[in-house]
Amino acid sequence: MNTSSIFNNLIAIYRPYTKLFSPIFEDYDLYPAQWLVMKDIALNSPTTLVQISKRRAIEKPTTRKILKVLSEKSLLKIETGNDKREKLLSFSEEGQDLYDKINKRVSIVQEEIIQKTGLSEDDLQHTVKVIEKIHKEITKMEEI
């Protein structure tokens, strides 16, 4: 079995996928990296810069810059954590509103893609499990 095939196909999806959604992000003056951070906050709120950085495999300075832009757009609510240096991040009302609008449009396109593939629910669940396992192993290797 050619094990590189799965990695080649995963990587091949990235650019066309990002390009497909760029017009949606542009409508809201966002970049794909900013959307990924917003998605992370939506799934893990409240969260911190360090946690986002680890989960998304983004360098801390880059994460900090993205969060600064989102904050300047009044999309974030920032509260002090238990440690005064820790900042807990969640969406402001405006941020939640924007996330919901973009996520609705993204979800419609994603559903259309999956429908066109003809994949069954079992196929999708199996694919997600496989990708999660691969991601987990890659993450472990990064920590070494």
**Domain locations in the chain?**
4-119
Angle between helices 93-117 and 32-44 (to 10 degrees): 100
Nearest in space to 102 (alpha carbons), one of 12, 2, 28: 28
CATH no. for 4-119: 1.10.10.10
d(CA 111, CA 116): 9
Please give the model's pTM, rounded to 2 decimal places. 0.88
CB atoms under 10 Å from CB of 18, counted, come to 15
* Residuewise pLDDT in 10s, the chain (144 residues): 678 999 999 999 999 999 999 999 999 999 999 999 999 999 999 999 999 999 998 999 999 999 999 999 999 999 998 888 889 999 999 999 999 999 999 999 999 999 999 999 999 999 999 999 999 998 888 776
